[in-house]
Chain A
Amino acid sequence: MAQIFHHSINTLVRIGFLALVVLAAGGSAAYYAMYNSPYFNRVNVVRQQPVMFSHKHHVNGLGIDCRYCHTAVEESSSAGIPPTHTCMTCHSQVWTDAPILEPVRESYRTGKPLQWIRVHDLPDFVYFNHSIHIKKGIGCTTCHGQVDQMPMTRQVNTLYIGCCLDCHRHTERYVRPRDQVFSVDWRPPSNQEELGRQLVKKYNIHSFTNCSTCHR
């Protein structure tokens, strides 16, 4: 019986297999690249906000504490976004007719809230609690980065599960003294791991990695 396939088909099949492998690898690489690209994880992407609010100016320039605006951060899951009233505590006195602040004044006049674009957006099946992290000595900048250097707020971490688990598994690398939690200048000391281990003990940190710690 004559051969069904010509001899040259062998080569084609080999090329085909190779192509498959290359395609799979390339696909995975592309996927991985996309997954870690700012397009997807929004790291360092600046959003257009209704008011060009600068953390750099307010935190670095004026030295306002995080908690002046994010009042709930020590007691609730949510840190809280300030009501217009908080803005107006100062801006009824200073920069009272700056055009950039018109949306704020309008909101205060009309009672219509400002609508900010969420920068740090966890998926809806993740339940993060600010207060307990503050209590256990995790600083704002650990997740949010140097907001005091940000004219417009952006994300510096992917906030993927890897970020969470890294800290939950090696808390000693990130924990800081409680009085430094709101400090934007704090840098890990050279003996961080050793200091961290002491703090983990002192603050009675459990760092659960149970699923229901965050998912429920």
Chain B
Amino acid sequence: MSKERALRAFDLQSLREKLSPQRGRTYWKSLDQLAETEEFQDYLKHEFPAGADTWLDPVGRRRFLQLMGASLAFAGLTNCTMQPEERIVPYVRAPEEVIPGKPLFYASAIPMLGYAQGTLVESHDGRPTKVEGNPKHPASLGATTLHAQASVLDLYDPDRLTVTTNAGRVRSWEVFAATLTNQMERYRLNGGKGLCILTGNVTSPTLGRQFEQLSSAMPEARWYQYEPVNLDSAHEGGRMAFGRDVNTYYRLDKAKRILSLDADFLFFGPACIRHTKDFSAQRRMESPDQEMNRLYMVESAPTVTAAMADHRLAVRHSEVLDIARAFARALGIDVPESSALDDATRTWVQAAADDLKEHGGASVVIPGEFQPPVLHALVHLINDKLGASGSTTVHTASVESAPQLHGPNLVRLVEEMRNGEIETLVIVGGNPAFDAPADLDFGGALQHVPLRIHLTQQENETSSLCDWQIPESHFLESWGDLRAFDGTVSVVQPLIVPLYRSKSAVELMDLILGGDGAASDYDIVRTHWSRESGQADFDHWWRQVLYDGTMPDTALPEIVVGVNRQSVLDAIAAISTPESDLELIFRPDPHIYDGRYANNGWLQEAPKPLTKLTWDNAVLLAPATAQKLGIQPGQVVKVRLGESELSGPAWIHPGHPKRAVTIHVGYGRRQVGRVGTGAGFDAFKLRTTGALWAAPGVEVIPTSDSYDLACTQDHSSMEGRPLIVESTLEEFRKNPGFAKEAWETPRPDVNMYPERKYEGRAWGLSVDLNTCIGCNACVLACQSENNIAVVGRDQVRNGREMHWIRIDRYFSGDLDQPETLHQPVMCQQCENAPCETVCPVGATNHSDEGLNDMVYNRCIGTRYCSNNCPYKVRRFNFLLYSDWQTETLKLQRNPDVTVRSRGVMEKCTYCVQRINAAKIQAELEDRDVADGEIKTACQQVCPADAIVFGNINDPQSEVARRKKNPRDYGILTELKTRPRTTYLARLRNPNPRIPEPDKPSEKA
């Protein structure tokens, strides 16, 4: 029984008037805030929304009363709790490198779209607990994506497939190996006719070699690669432009002007972290006279990258190509004139083109991952014209072992299955029965295959249709190898023996190739490299590779390729844009991706980067479109495309292109573990081979039902103050101190707090809003480091989410074309902390180094501190949110941080466990703590290096330097809280030749 909230009816016209430029620039978080609804007022005035303290679950209430009765009876005895007897279990023979109580770090790599992201994984007593980036790895440089952070939870997922099963019966791997070997006898005789292996995207050299062996031993055997979210467009576009397979990546450190044509290059793709690192380095703005890059963004579905844009243009998916054509023409490339663009857009495109041309050689255009191949080809032509090749754009030979087009592959496979040409299908990972285009009916075609085998980590829609389900090893428990976006090879190194009797892809392939099923993935990978590396002293080399996490000199050399101009122009001429009234855009979900992370509670619960929705997907549409169709947020709508139909809740997203709706795929899984069950609706069922990422002619029909989406955008709102400060580069140069002027300076003589001096170290944090892309990696890193519990959808609706960092997302300006800003807010570690003065039991106190300490064992849960916190950063454990029962989840916990219980307040500690560890280490070595030695979890993971922690009393420290930046400001400083966390104001670098709809005149 969830608390039903009445559907809010917004009068969008009046909201629009409120935002009219004459009334000055305002910053707002939601439509509720603009409309000043009661609900928003409630969030503002109260710590939790009305009814948050009521019990929700009727069955639970009975249980609660039982427990309450019991706890009342034992209340007097709580202090008499005897500590349970504990056992110490030492090693029999201790490994040399293990020191009890000290974590070890191992270099490994996590596959993302089949490409490597280098990681250093923390291991406590043999348990991997936290994933960090590998500073030596080109695709990580020390940072990771949010998915890498969450991957450790997948390892310990209690819903993993634990045993090999055949037709519902538990079988051993050996029985399976015998069965398959029997089959293989036949295939060895007939050249592999009837055998097919379906994998995801493969960059692994070892797997690639195994497939080469397969095709030489059994030339008739098939190998298809398919992932629903793939790089087909880039591959095909590359072939169109260069006539060969080319891998392209961008050197944004050299780019002063960037145009993204619907590319979410900061958030998506094998090089996204590298892009973010390089991009943000150009926006550091330590002084007003530094140069800052400029990003033009053309986007269809809402992207993380667009929030960083200096100029953003929201158009429909199908119109991006029109813009690209206009842009090409503006550069003097003779492409056919595009269809009608309005004057404003033309001016925009012309100004952008001039700007990029003027910065020729230091400018780049990036094509959208989900845009058609022809756009990629055209962009190659454009980049060639801009002189980007060899400077901002790098071409290499293909990184993938055998580049294939995933879409056409799957069509061919389904056809062959239906024709009865496939007798044995081995599916390695993936979930095609769920995520294949609906018109293929993969599940139906699969029934035509006599023997179906699925190697999978979890039971899913595909494995339930297979005869054999083989548990697949997680990357943290198996050996392998992967290539990064530039070709650099990393060895995937396990940190733990498989928790279950699982197998990795190379082990299964070895069996198929005639192995006895006993070879370990370690032997297979190591043997491969002992042959390939050609090293005289292989053992030494191998150890060094494992230590570094990268293989030396394996990055692919840059190649010079000429664009086949005519073939690109021909391809463009052949394109016609279908005209439609309403367009449906599909995109992978920013968190649960194509559905593979649906059972990951961390990813489900973290508020999505732009919409701030949790636990569900929604039909996203622009305010204007909603107005026209008469749709309110939360209203359930029917989305009809041809014969197919789905229904799901609508959500109004300011800045979404008009006449289009976006749906994130991956939700609505039918066979998934306990976390993912019942989350969202399945959009894959509308997706067909002809329209993979956008479909014209969709109908959206409002219904009378509503659904209470768990959205956190208004949670923890701080009323009507200039929390977020931004300006333009030009204004910054004229008035560098603009950020401090946004706040009234408090009178120095009035202070109700006692003066306190910090003479030793004084910890502080600086967050650069000019580089923060709002990607959520810090939220996940914090969750992983600090044992933060997942609370579930109903609890999020009540504002009880436990994240210690929240990323406040603000819109500014116009309702239809707003700018987006992010502000990570964690405990500000006030020097004069309002929370401390109200705690009746002294559970929150100040440390000598200025930390606002929280003592869980003293806290009795009055929640006074959280009531008195102006930043609303304290989180209360209303229920026993931490899972204290599930054994595997216990293995994930960081032993250096208390697992909090019910009735206890918690909040950001600046990762005090890391501070203490570093301080002790420095003392043991008779030295001072070096600057940069302590990194908070959020700082370490940040791909934009937006967060810096350190000693503000040390003038040489990075954090002290950042706080000297004129853009530095603190929030709510007029309250004299003296927060240790401060922000660097956001800047935009608009092109003066593009008229702005409204100029920033005053702050909210």
Whether B100 sits at the interface, judged by CB under 8 Å, is: yes
Once the chains are docked, how many angstroms separate the CA of A216 from the CA of B923?
20
Whether A113 sits at the interface, judged by CB under 8 Å, is: yes
Question: B100 to A76, Cβ gap below 8 A?
Answer: yes
Whether B355 sits at the interface, judged by CB under 8 Å, is: no
B342 partner residues in chain A, CB cutoff 8 A? none
Once the chains are docked, how many angstroms separate the CA of A75 from the CA of B896?
16
Question: B88 to A125, Cβ gap below 8 A?
Answer: no
Once the chains are docked, how many angstroms separate the CA of A216 from the CA of B898?
6
Question: B916 to A216, Cβ gap below 8 A?
Answer: yes
Whether A84 sits at the interface, judged by CB under 8 Å, is: yes
Question: B86 to A118, Cβ gap below 8 A?
Answer: yes
A-facing residues in B813-864 (Cβ within 8 Å): 845, 847-849, 851, 853-857
Question: A216 to B91, Cβ gap below 8 A?
Answer: no
B-facing residues in A122-145 (Cβ within 8 Å): 123-125, 127, 129, 131-132, 135-136
Q: How far is the CB of B910 from the nearest CB of chain A, in Å?
A: 9
Q: Can you name the residue of chain B whose Cβ is closest to the Cβ of A80?
A: B100
B857 partner residues in chain A, CB cutoff 8 A? 123, 125, 215
Question: B91 to A113, Cβ gap below 8 A?
Answer: yes
Once the chains are docked, how many angstroms separate the CA of A114 from the CA of B90?
7
For chain B, what secondary structure do more than half of its interface residues adopt (helix, strand, loop), or is it mixed?
loop
Once the chains are docked, how many angstroms separate the CA of A75 from the CA of B845?
29
Q: How far is the CB of B98 from the nearest CB of chain A, in Å?
A: 9
Count residues on chain A whose CB falls below 8 Å from chain B CBs: 44
Whether B402 sits at the interface, judged by CB under 8 Å, is: no
Whether A85 sits at the interface, judged by CB under 8 Å, is: yes
Known A125-B856, A210-B851, A211-B853; contact A216-B897, beta-carbon cutoff 8 A: yes
Q: Can you name the residue of chain B whose Cβ is closest to the Cβ of A113?
A: B89
Once the chains are docked, how many angstroms separate the CA of A124 from the CA of B920?
20
B82 partner residues in chain A, CB cutoff 8 A? 40
Q: Can you name the residue of chain A whose Cβ is closest to the Cβ of B847?
A: A210
Please tell me which stretch of A57-65, A104-112, A165-173 contacts chain B, meaning at least 4 of its Cβ atoms lie within 8 angstroms of it: A104-112
Beta-carbon contacts of A37-69 to B below 8 Å, as 1s and 0s?
A: 000100000000000000000000000000000
B99 partner residues in chain A, CB cutoff 8 A? 72, 75-76, 80
B915 partner residues in chain A, CB cutoff 8 A? 212
Once the chains are docked, how many angstroms separate the CA of A204 from the CA of B83?
35
Once the chains are docked, how many angstroms separate the CA of A7 from the CA of B728?
87
Question: A85 to B94, Cβ gap below 8 A?
Answer: yes
Whether B992 sits at the interface, judged by CB under 8 Å, is: no
Question: B853 to A83, Cβ gap below 8 A?
Answer: no
B92 partner residues in chain A, CB cutoff 8 A? 83-85, 107-108, 111-113
Q: How far is the CB of A122 from the nearest CB of chain B, in Å?
A: 9
Whether A77 sits at the interface, judged by CB under 8 Å, is: yes
Once the chains are docked, how many angstroms separate the CA of A76 from the CA of B98?
11
Beta-carbon contacts of B8-24 to A below 8 Å, as 1s and 0s?
A: 00000000000000000
Whether A157 sits at the interface, judged by CB under 8 Å, is: no
Q: How far is the CB of B136 from the nearest CB of chain A, in Å?
A: 26
Q: Can you name the residue of chain B whose Cβ is closest to the Cβ of A161?
A: B857
A81 partner residues in chain B, CB cutoff 8 A? 88, 90, 100
Beta-carbon contacts of B67-88 to A below 8 Å, as 1s and 0s?
A: 0000000000001101101111
Residue of B94, B851, B916 near A83 (CB, 8 A) is: B94
Whether A12 sits at the interface, judged by CB under 8 Å, is: no
B896 partner residues in chain A, CB cutoff 8 A? 127, 216
Question: B923 to A211, Cβ gap below 8 A?
Answer: no
A124 partner residues in chain B, CB cutoff 8 A? 898
Q: How far is the CB of A138 from the nearest CB of chain B, in Å?
A: 13
Q: How far is the CB of B826 from the nearest CB of chain A, in Å?
A: 16
Known A76-B99, A215-B898; contact A82-B855, beta-carbon cutoff 8 A: no
Once the chains are docked, how many angstroms separate the CA of A70 from the CA of B728?
61
Whether A186 sits at the interface, judged by CB under 8 Å, is: no
Question: A115 to B80, Cβ gap below 8 A?
Answer: no
Chain B contact residues, CB within 8 Å of chain A: 79-80, 82-83, 85-94, 99-102, 845, 847-849, 851, 853-857, 896-898, 909, 912-913, 915-916, 920, 923-924
Q: What are 8 contact pairs spanning A and B, CB under 8 A?
A: A34-B80, A72-B102, A77-B101, A82-B90, A85-B91, A85-B92, A132-B923, A212-B909
Chain A contact residues, CB within 8 Å of chain B: 31, 34-35, 40, 72, 74-78, 80-85, 107-108, 111-118, 121, 123-125, 127, 129, 131-132, 135-136, 204, 208, 210-213, 215-216
6 further A-B contacts with Cβ under 8 Å, apart from A80-B90, A118-B88, A127-B916, are: A34-B80, A35-B79, A81-B90, A114-B89, A124-B898, A210-B847
